């Protein structure tokens, strides 16, 4: 079976064998001897060859898919007849995949071998899985007594294309199994890869072993060595080991070490808190979680990465970190893995094509060259030149990929000659003394020299993007009078073909980016050509325009679509703000951009957004246009409101209102009046707030701003509600709902449904309120991120408490609490805790001692909520106040004044973690 040909692999292993060995090694040894004999006999009987065994795992190869399937069925039948009760059973999982593979020294290598191993990894004991390739080969050849069950498309741990997986059915075999253990069911954000992972299986195994013994492992190596890809594959291999998932944090796009914690928080969907530093918020979030963080590209923010990782590892015992960097983090307990170059054939040794494919560097070149040119094949004629290329490039993956991309225009012989010309400086001397970046520069220099003048120009300008870009943004930033969007598209496609730009997708939108080493090289070239200021300004202007377009489309765009755009471009906004404000290249442009991003930051990271606005405000001087300064104040009012800082929000809105009035900007005046009026209502100045809101409403109606008019009607409804005018409240909400329905603003309709529920509840119609709240909640569930959800759930909990459905209310309050903490919505945390306090105080208990203890907890919790609302300058609305008063009355009956005061004093000193812990007892 030597040579390269299409074969079928059968891999098997015993599910859960490690635990069985630990429980009874002697019994397991006996079982394994029996298992090995049965499986080997079934394989040999069908003409298969066992080419490797690892522990209880068998790796076998067959010339035909039909015989491999017959062996698998025979083995399962034979195993089923054995008595493995001494180890509580030994279920064997099996997987089959067909493809070409290279054989060397009795072992097999190549993507097909990796694929069948990944397929085995998602199977259950007793199950036989087939890849789509094997299933196709069996059509027309499979015995009638066998069948195939289509289990659908699944992402495997090689992160390559999804695989259509089939289960083999046969008489006497179990048919019903749990869902497959594929990436689809495990929590992670690991990206699927557009090409195969080649040549590093041994490295992945060694790194995974390191992570089992060490909480911090750092992959150290040169740029282009493949650290990022290897780390992602390690993460995929370990997905099943971490209950809370594996999370990739890409640090390459950030320019400032202060953004490290923010990047981790964004990947984990941890929202910033106004009460503590972001690193502390992260630590609090991670304390109770078991997960793996993959921090990619730490070298340019090494000090900040070291600080954040140290804080996490000190406090979070079940968190492990896999970092990639050009240097170690130098933390206690860190294990450094120096990622080697891919294996190359030994020097001065003639290696035939078949044997050469088993070396990682050659295999990678062949894989990428074949993808570039479907006609390319490695043979004994071109193998010496491919081997020379791999050797001369030191097995560096990025260098090899760049070389393979040229196979369309240069033969392997020509490529080898070209490398000799370009890398003469690297021959002889102490190669290890040269910085790795210089090697990458030489490689990219060579690729850059092959570009046309137009390709070079676009390549340089694309370096201005951070975190990737779309064709539309590339055309806006890099195009011009002589280069339209179609021209940019053609040049961009060429750069993708040449492996200088990477292509992917964000949702349904194609998205592009550069490897970081390539991007840094291009940025240096951009600077050398004197093009950096113009490109950075065009970039900032483009993303200012995008911010404005997203703001205009917010009310009529689905949450998922709108937020996907915002999240995809977050690094570009950070880069633009950094260039305009931090380095003071264009303060006015930065001020404009900061003022337009309030809603985006409300979704992404409101506290960070507020910091950018405050930074922009510090740059205001006598030359700043009034509308720009006013817009910054209005943006601050928005984010202050999101963060529950209502006094500060009102002050900011008042500043904006004064400036818009001076400018004679009627629309700006109305917007500022609305935010100022809402702020006044929420800090208890209801009459003054309502007056401002009604002025804003008149202006919006006059200008035809219907959605803003609807929002203002809701704000006025809140004011009337606080003042007890329930019929007026209902009428205002109904009018707002009619506007939203006519405008197709589905998101806002959910908000009105919730407000109508409040009005019904105040009228004493609790069951109607429950129904409306459930409808509002159902329409809100589709959002990727929503600050409404915990608020809606808390209201529903209050209504359920009122009708004494305490268990249902507790479930809703607990869910609201969890979501509110995840999105750092402190006011909603406070409401959820109050509802849990109400349940503790009001729910009847047969055990009077337990009831008294519950009420003690309730007293402390209510005092905690009082303290936090006071700090936030927030006001209890009617529902919360009514519930609060009822609970306080019960507590006053249960405890004397002195004891109640003592319990309250204790509760006021709690932090949020303590309050939550006590509430959930």
**Is the domain of 105 the same as that of 219?**
no
> How many Å apart are CA 145 and CA 156, to the nearest integer?
29
Residue 194 has pLDDT above 60, yes or no: yes
> Of 117-126, 739-748, 845-854, 906-915, which range is least confident?
739-748
Residue 160 pLDDT level (bands cut at 50, 70, 90): low
Q: How far is CA 858 from CA 206, 755, 790, 855, 897, in A?
A: 52, 27, 21, 5, 15
Q: Where are the beta strands (DSSP E) in 29-70?
A: 49-54, 57-62
Residue 654 has pLDDT above 70, yes or no: yes
Q: For position 786, what pLDDT does the model report? A: 58
% helix, strand, coil for the chain, step of 5: 60, 10, 25
**Is the domain of 168 the same as that of 253?**
no
Q: For position 451, what pLDDT does the model report? A: 86
**Is the domain of 160 the same as that of 15?**
yes
Q: For position 6, what pLDDT does the model report? A: 78
> How many Å apart are CA 637 and CA 111, to the nearest integer?
56
**Are the C-beta atoms of 579 and 535 separated by less than 8 Å?**
no
Segments in 302-410 forming alpha helices (H): 302-315, 353-356, 360-372, 383-392, 397-404
DSSP string, 237-250: HTGGG-TT-EEEEE
Q: For position 139, what pLDDT does the model report? A: 84
Write out the two tokens for 810.
């507790």
Residue 815 has pLDDT above 80, yes or no: yes
Q: Give kind and range of the element (H or E) at residue 151.
A: strand 146-154
Residue 191 pLDDT level (bands cut at 50, 70, 90): confident
pLDDT tens across 634-643, in order?
999 999 888 7
Segment 389-417 shows an average pLDDT of: 83
Q: For position 142, what pLDDT does the model report? A: 81
Backbone angles phi, psi at 219, to 5 degrees: -85, 115
367 inside domain: yes
677 inside domain: no
Segment 315-344 shows an average pLDDT of: 91
Backbone angles phi, psi at 433, to 5 degrees: -80, -15
133 inside domain: yes
**Is the domain of 300 the same as that of 213?**
yes
The domain boundary residue, chosen from 403, 422, 449: 449
Q: For position 588, what pLDDT does the model report? A: 96
113 inside domain: yes
* Residue 913 domain boundaries: 813-919
Other beta carbons less than 10 A from residue 300's beta carbon: 17
β-pairing, 163-170 with 246-250?
Answer: unpaired
Q: For position 420, what pLDDT does the model report? A: 58
**Is the domain of 249 the same as that of 329?**
yes
Give buried/exposed letters for 628-660 (b at 16+ CB in 10 A, else e).
Answer: bbbbbbbbbbbbbbbbbbbebbbbbbbbbbebb
536 inside domain: no
Q: For position 114, what pLDDT does the model report? A: 84
Q: For position 326, what pLDDT does the model report? A: 77
**Is the domain of 384 the same as that of 299?**
no
Residue 784 has pLDDT above 60, yes or no: no
Residue 431 has pLDDT above 50, yes or no: no
**Is the domain of 174 the same as that of 226?**
no
Segments in 781-896 forming alpha helices (H): 788-802, 806-822, 826-842, 848-872, 878-894
pLDDT tens across 235-246, in order?
988 887 898 999
Number of domains forming the structure of the chain: 4
**Is the domain of 22 the same as that of 110?**
yes
Residues with Cβ within 8 Å of 566's Cβ and at least 6 positions away in sequence, in order, are 550, 600, 603, 604
Q: For position 252, what pLDDT does the model report? A: 85
The domain boundary residue, chosen from 393, 421, 449: 449
> How many Å apart are CA 243 and CA 289, to the nearest integer?
8
538 inside domain: no
857 inside domain: yes
Q: Give kind and range of the element (H or E) at residue 285.
A: helix 278-286
**Is the domain of 42 the same as that of 71?**
yes
pLDDT tens across 198-217, in order?
888 889 999 999 999 999 99
> Of 170-174, 456-460, 469-473, 750-754, which range is least confident?
750-754
User: What letter does residue 480 receive in the DSSP assignment?
Assistant: B
User: What letter does residue 408 receive in the DSSP assignment?
Assistant: G
**Is the domain of 88 the same as that of 236?**
no
Other beta carbons less than 10 A from residue 857's beta carbon: 19
785 inside domain: no
Percent of the chain at pLDDT > 90 equals 51
Q: How far is CA 327 from CA 210, 218, 296, 436, in A?
A: 18, 9, 12, 12
**Is the domain of 37 the same as that of 120?**
yes
**Is the domain of 277 the same as that of 322?**
yes
């Amino acid at each position: 079976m030597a040579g390269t040909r299409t074969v079928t692999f059968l891999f098997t292993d015993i599910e859960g064998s490690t635990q069985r060995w630990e429980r009874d090694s002697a019994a397991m040894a006996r079982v394994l001897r029996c298992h090995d004999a049965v499986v080997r006999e079934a394989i040999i009987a069908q003409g298969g060859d066992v080419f490797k065994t690892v522990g209880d795992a068998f790796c076998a190869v067959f010339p035909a898919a039909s015989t491999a399937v017959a062996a698998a069925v025979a083995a399962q039948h034979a195993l089923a007849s054995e008595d493995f009760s001494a180890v509580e059973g030994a279920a064997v999982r099996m997987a089959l995949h067909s493809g070409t593979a290279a054989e060397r020294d009795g072992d097999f290598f190549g993507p097909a071998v990796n694929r069948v191993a990944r397929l085995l990894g998602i199977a259950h004991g007793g199950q036989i899985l087939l890849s789509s390739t094997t299933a196709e080969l069996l059509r027309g050849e499979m015995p009638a007594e066998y069948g195939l069950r289509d289990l659908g498309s699944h992402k495997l741990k090689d992160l390559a294309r999804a695989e259509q997986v089939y289960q083999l059915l046969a008489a006497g075999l179990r048919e019903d199994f749990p869902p497959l253990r594929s990436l689809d069911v495990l929590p992670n954000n690991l990206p699927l890869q557009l090409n195969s992972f080649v040549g590093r299986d041994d490295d992945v195994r060694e790194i995974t072993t390191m992570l089992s013994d060490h909480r911090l492992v750092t992959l150290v190596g040169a740029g282009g060595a493949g650290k990022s890809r290897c780390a992602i594959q390690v993460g995929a291999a370990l997905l099943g080991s971490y209950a809370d998932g594996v999370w990739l944090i890409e640090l390459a796009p950030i320019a400032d070490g202060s953004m490290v914690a923010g990047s981790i928080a964004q990947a984990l969907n941890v929202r910033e808190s106004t009460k503590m530093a972001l690193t502390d918020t992260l630590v609090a979030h991670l304390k109770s979680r078991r997960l793996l963080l993959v921090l990619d590209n730490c070298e340019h923010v090494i000090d900040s990465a070291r600080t954040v990782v140290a804080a996490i590892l000190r406090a979070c015992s079940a968190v492990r970190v896999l970092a990639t960097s050009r240097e170690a983090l130098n933390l206690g307990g860190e294990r450094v893995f120096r990622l080697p170059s891919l294996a190359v054939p030994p020097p001065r040794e003639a290696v035939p094509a078949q044997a050469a494919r088993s070396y990682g560097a050659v295999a990678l070149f062949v894989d990428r060259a074949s993808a570039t040119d479907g006609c390319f094949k490695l043979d004994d004629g071109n193998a010496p030149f491919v081997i020379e290329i791999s050797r001369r490039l030191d097995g560096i993956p990025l260098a090899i990929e760049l070389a393979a991309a040229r196979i369309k225009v240069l033969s392997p012989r020509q490529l080898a000659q070209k490398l000799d010309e370009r890398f003469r400086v690297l021959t002889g001397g102490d190669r290890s003394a040269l910085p790795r970046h210089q090697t990458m520069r030489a490689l990219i220099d060579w690729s850059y020299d092959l570009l046309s003048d137009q390709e070079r120009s676009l390549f340089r300008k694309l370096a201005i993007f951070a975190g990737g870009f779309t064709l539309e943004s590339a055309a806006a930033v890099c195009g011009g009078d002589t280069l339209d969007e179609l021209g940019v598209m053609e040049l961009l496609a060429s750069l993708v073909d040449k492996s200088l730009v990477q292509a992917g997708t964000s949702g349904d939108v194609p998205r592009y980016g550069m490897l970081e080493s390539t991007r840094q090289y291009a940025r240096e070239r951009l600077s050398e050509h004197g093009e950096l200021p113009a490109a950075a300004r065009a970039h900032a202007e483009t993303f200012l325009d995008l911010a404005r377009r997203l703001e205009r489309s917010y009310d009529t765009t689905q949450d998922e679509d709108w937020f996907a755009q915002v999240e995809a471009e977050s690094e570009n906004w950070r880069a633009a703000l950094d260039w305009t404000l931090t380095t003071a290249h264009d303060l006015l442009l930065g001020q404009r951009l900061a003022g337009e991003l309030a809603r985006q930051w409300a979704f992404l990271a409101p506290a960070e957004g507020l910091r950018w606005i405050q930074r922009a405000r510090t740059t205001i001087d006598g030359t700043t246009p009034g509308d720009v300064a006013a817009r910054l104040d209005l943006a601050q009012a928005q984010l202050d409101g999101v963060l529950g800082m209502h006094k500060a929000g009102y002050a900011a809105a008042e500043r904006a209102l004064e400036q818009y009035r001076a400018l004679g900007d009627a629309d700006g005046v109305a917007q500022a009046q609305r935010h100022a009026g809402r702020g006044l209502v929420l800090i208890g100045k209801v009459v003054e707030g309502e007056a401002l809101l009604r002025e804003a409403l008149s202006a919006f109606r006059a200008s035809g701003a219907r959605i803003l008019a609807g929002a203002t009607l809701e704000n006025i409804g809140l004011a009337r509600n606080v003042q007890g005018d329930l019929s007026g409240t209902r009428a205002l909400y109904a009018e707002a709902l009619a506007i939203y329905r006519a405008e197709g603003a589905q998101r806002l309709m959910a908000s009105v449904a919730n407000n109508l529920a409040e009005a019904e509840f105040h009228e004493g119609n609790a069951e109607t309120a429950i129904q409306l709240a459930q409808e509002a909640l159902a329409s809100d569930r589709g959002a990727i991120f929503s600050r409404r959800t915990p608020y809606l759930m808390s209201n529903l909990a209050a209504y359920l408490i009122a009708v004494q459905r305490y268990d249902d209310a507790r479930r809703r309050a607990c869910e609201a609490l969890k979501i509110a903490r995840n999105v750092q919505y402190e006011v909603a945390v406070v409401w959820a805790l109050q509802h849990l306090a109400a349940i503790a105080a009001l729910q009847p208990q047969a055990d009077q001692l337990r009831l008294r203890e519950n009420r003690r907890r309730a007293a402390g919790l209510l005092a905690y909520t009082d303290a936090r609302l006071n700090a936030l300058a927030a006001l209890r609305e009617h529902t919360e106040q009514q519930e609060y008063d009822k609970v306080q009355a019960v507590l006053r009956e249960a405890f004397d004044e002195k004891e109640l005061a003592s319990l309250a004093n204790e509760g006021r000193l709690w932090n949020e973690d303590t309050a939550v812990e006590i509430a959930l007892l």
